[in-house]
């Protein structure tokens, strides 16, 4: 009975949606013990989280794809896009789990409703808000390995007309590797006020800042790990600070003919300062991303609207006081989606036109078919077109050159304002079954074909000089299967299982054959078992298997480094006593040595424990 709003921009029951839609509930987030959005999504079918270390290290995500495709997944917070406008991806380690109510995942082309950067799909992080009338306070504190602390306090207040959710948190860790410390302070205020028949207005202010060490790479082979050498850092003095302020105003009203209208305006201010004295680097990056969105739900079968986005990015070399990038982009769009019903068949057709100030129009259609084979069995299929816009770095990265060295010939880099967006057609066929309230099973087979893949490649014909520029020279495809099972036994025992088979391949302009894309494990398996007891005890165990993968495309042909397959086992137990709840968790019980990204070692066994108070 979970309600999903992202799939059709209107509230729909999860059981009525196609097999390519998934949801991570607040209970699942809490039971997993996730610190941030990346950890909450780590076990969802079709998602691959790139992990570079302990708390605070960058964690990006890919949907149904391999290669360096994290920029092809659109990430939103309450419908507001939060992908980094400079690099394209979203770092999900920076979004604390304490503020998340649920996460909705739409797999496959999502540009017909949400525009750019939705080739692989859309992830919408829905933040918490006030619940039932009255007030509630929740205080939580926890500690763990590597001198890690997680402290959070929130209040829910509702008077019937005025609602408020407020949350403040602080996370910190000394880190596992050298120069790997992390501190995060976050604050969220989410008030809303009912105007009666005139609708409802709401606001959200979300502020967080980070301070962390950036240890860089470590080239030690897994076979040589000894408990010390893998903790070394290539950069012992690099530091990074982030300051982010997100604000949003919204209005919603149901009209007399039962149609609804929604409108919102938002603004994102993001500042990042990276300093590395050893390399003489002091770079300041500043982003101002503003937008407005209006949507009308006409009856139950038609959604239409449009949005306006204005992004500004500035980067300055503070060591020399030199402006490197100072550019702005505008995107204006209109969209329409309509559903037709005929007996047991539902057909949903969507169309969106985006006008981008650099590369012009992108028209993205989609078609979704759902057929009810029986009360417990549903067949679905969808196809759509999507695109990913080039980033500010792709378009405007300044000219930088390096002389000949012991590592190779002279080389330089520079952006390319003439490149085009990546485009893709993708589709899937899914089968979903419900057996009473105890069993949910889903099967999906999907395929996507990507054109104009953007790659930074050497365009020089001089063997003594390498000139790297972003070019539209790549083609890629993703072919895969997802299987998901959820089995609830007597409301006490829950089994969750998912399996992903992926074949992700690409080729450049002068390649004759498609080769395996980097970081594309063929097999991934997740199994969770949860047990709830009348005594207030809950236990959860998770097993995860990932097959081997290569750090470079074409790795099976001798390129890059092969990262071996790994198996992880985690356990968590919580005990509720009156208004208190205590937990203990053990992660990587088997003390497995593994990596998800080459030259970024990950820790072995580690622990956490804590207590929360709800009044």
pLDDT at 559 over 80: no
How far is 206 from 86, CA to CA, in rounded Å? Answer: 21
Asked if residue 349 lies in contact with residue 365, where contact means CB atoms within 8 angstroms, the answer is: yes
pTM of the model: 0.94
285-294, 326-335, 430-439, 512-521: the lowest-pLDDT one: 430-439
How far is 72 from 171, CA to CA, in rounded Å? Answer: 29
How far is 430 from 18, CA to CA, in rounded Å? Answer: 7
Q: Of the candidates 177, 167, 171, which has an alpha carbon nearest to the alpha carbon of residue 144?
A: 171
224-233, 453-462, 517-526, 595-604: the lowest-pLDDT one: 453-462
Long-range Cβ pairs for the range 227-234 (8 Å, 24+): 230/177, 230/593, 230/601, 231/176, 231/177, 231/178, 231/601, 232/177, 232/178, 233/177, 233/178, 233/179, 233/180
3-state SS record for 515-539: EECCCCCCEEEEEEEEEECCCCEEE
How far is 544 from 1, CA to CA, in rounded Å? Answer: 28
How far is 558 from 305, CA to CA, in rounded Å? Answer: 50
Give per-residue pLDDT as tens, 458-475. 888 888 888 999 988 889
| pLDDT for residue 421 | 93
pLDDT at 2 over 80: no
How far is 355 from 331, CA to CA, in rounded Å? Answer: 6
How far is 99 from 152, CA to CA, in rounded Å? Answer: 10
User: Which pairing describes strands 465-489 and 410-413: parallel, antiparallel, or unpaired?
Assistant: parallel
Cβ-based neighbours of 436, under 8 Å, separated by 6 or more: none
Average pLDDT over residues 449-464: 88
The count of C-alpha atoms lying within 13 angstroms of the C-alpha of 428, restricted to the half-sphere facing its C-beta, is 27
DSSP symbol at 131: -
How far is 482 from 500, CA to CA, in rounded Å? Answer: 5
Give per-residue pLDDT as tens, 251-278. 999 887 778 999 999 999 999 999 999 8
26-35, 109-118, 598-607: the lowest-pLDDT one: 26-35
Give per-residue pLDDT as tens, 109-143. 989 999 999 999 999 999 998 877 888 999 999 99
CA distances from residue 527 to 130, 250, 443, 568 in whole angstroms, order as listed: 33, 39, 16, 11
User: Which pairing describes strands 73-77 and 121-127: parallel, antiparallel, or unpaired?
Assistant: parallel
Q: Of the candidates 344, 316, 467, which has an alpha carbon nearest to the alpha carbon of residue 16?
A: 344
| pLDDT for residue 276 | 94
Give per-residue pLDDT as tens, 142-159. 999 999 999 999 999 999
DSSP symbol at 25: -
pLDDT at 608 over 70: yes
What percent of the chain has pLDDT above 90?
65
Q: Of the candidates 559, 485, 551, 497, which has an alpha carbon nearest to the alpha carbon of residue 521?
A: 551
Strand ranges (E), 277-376: 281-298, 302-317, 322-342, 345-356, 360-374
**Mean pLDDT score of the chain:** 91
Q: What phi-psi label fits residue 536: left (phi over 0), alpha (psi between -120 and 50 degrees) or beta?
A: left
Give per-residue pLDDT as tens, 339-397. 999 889 999 999 999 999 988 999 999 999 999 999 889 999 999 999 999 999 999 99
3-state SS record for 374-412: ECCEEEEEEEEEEEECCCHHHHHCCCEEECCECCECEEE
Give per-residue pLDDT as tens, 525-537. 999 999 999 898 9
Q: 1: pLDDT confidence band, cut at 50, 70 and 90?
A: low
| pLDDT for residue 253 | 93
CA distances from residue 293 to 113, 117, 359, 492 in whole angstroms, order as listed: 12, 17, 22, 43
């Amino acid at each position: 009975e979970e309600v999903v709003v992202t799939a059709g921009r209107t509230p729909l029951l999860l059981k009525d949606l196609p097999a390519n839609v998934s949801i991570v509930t607040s209970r699942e987030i809490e039971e997993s013990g996730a610190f941030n959005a990346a950890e909450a999504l780590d076990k969802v079918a079709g998602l691959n989280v790139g992990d570079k270390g302990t708390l605070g290290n960058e964690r990006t995500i890919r949907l149904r794809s391999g290669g360096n495709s994290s920029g092809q997944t659109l990430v939103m917070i309450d419908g507001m896009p939060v992908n980094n406008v400079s690099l394209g991806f979203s770092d999900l380690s920076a979004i604390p789990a304490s503020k998340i109510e649920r996460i909705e995942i739409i797999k496959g082309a999502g540009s017909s409703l949400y525009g750019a950067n939705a080739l692989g799909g859309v992830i919408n992080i829905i933040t918490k808000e006030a619940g039932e009338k009255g007030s509630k306070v929740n205080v939580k504190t926890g500690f763990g390995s590597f001198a890690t602390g997680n402290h959070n306090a929130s209040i829910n207040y509702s008077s019937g007309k005025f609602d408020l959710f407020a949350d403040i948190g602080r996370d910190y860790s000394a880190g596992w590797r050298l120069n790997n410390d992390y501190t995060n302070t976050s604050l969220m205020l989410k008030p809303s006020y009912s105007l009666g028949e005139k609708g409802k207005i709401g606001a959200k202010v979300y502020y967080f800042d980070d301070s962390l060490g950036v240890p860089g790479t470590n080239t030690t082979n897994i076979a040589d790990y000894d408990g010390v050498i893998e903790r070394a850092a290539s950069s012992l003095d690099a530091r990074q600070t982030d300051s982010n302020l997100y604000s949003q105003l919204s209005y919603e009203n149901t009209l007399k003919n039962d149609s609804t209208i929604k409108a919102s305006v938002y603004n994102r201010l993001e500042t990042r300062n990276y300093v590395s004295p050893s390399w003489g680097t002091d770079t300041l990056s500043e982003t101002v991303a503003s937008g407005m969105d209006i949507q009308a739900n006409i009856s139950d079968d038609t959604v239409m609207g449009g949005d306006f986005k204005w992004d500004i990015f500035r980067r300055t070399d503070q060591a020399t006081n030199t402006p490197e990038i100072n550019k702005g982009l505008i995107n204006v769009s209109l969209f329409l989606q309509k559903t037709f019903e005929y007996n047991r068949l539902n057909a949903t057709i969507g169309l969106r036109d985006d006008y981008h100030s650099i590369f012009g129009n992108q028209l993205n259609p989609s078609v979704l078919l759902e057929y009810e084979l029986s009360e417990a069995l549903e067949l679905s299929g969808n196809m759509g077109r999507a695109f990913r816009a080039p980033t500010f770095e792709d378009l405007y990265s300044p000219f930088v050159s390096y002389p000949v060295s012991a590592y190779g010939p002279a080389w330089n880099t520079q952006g390319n304002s003439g490149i085009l967006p990546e485009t893709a057609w993708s589709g899937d066929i899914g089968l979903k079954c419900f057996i009473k309230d105890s069993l949910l099973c889903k099967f999906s087979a999907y395929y996507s074909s990507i054109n104009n893949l953007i790659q930074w490649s050497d365009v020089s014909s001089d063997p003594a000089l390498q000139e790297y520029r972003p070019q539209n020279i790549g083609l890629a495809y993703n072919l895969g299967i997802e299987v998901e099972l959820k089995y609830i036994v007597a409301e006490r025992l829950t089994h969750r299982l998912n399996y992903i088979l992926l074949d992700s391949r690409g080729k450049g302009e002068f390649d004759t054959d498609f080769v395996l894309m980097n970081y594309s494990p063929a097999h991934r398996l997740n199994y969770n078992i949860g047990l709830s007891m009348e005594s207030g005890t809950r236990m959860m165990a998770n097993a995860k298997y990932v097959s081997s993968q290569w750090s470079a495309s074409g790795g099976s042909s001798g390129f890059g480094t092969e990262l071996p397959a790994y198996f992880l086992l985690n356990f968590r137990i919580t005990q509720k006593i009156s208004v208190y709840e205590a937990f203990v968790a053990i992660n990587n019980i088997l003390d497995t040595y593994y990596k998800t990204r080459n030259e970024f070692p990950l820790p072995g066994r580690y622990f956490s424990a804590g207590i929360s108070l709800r009044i």
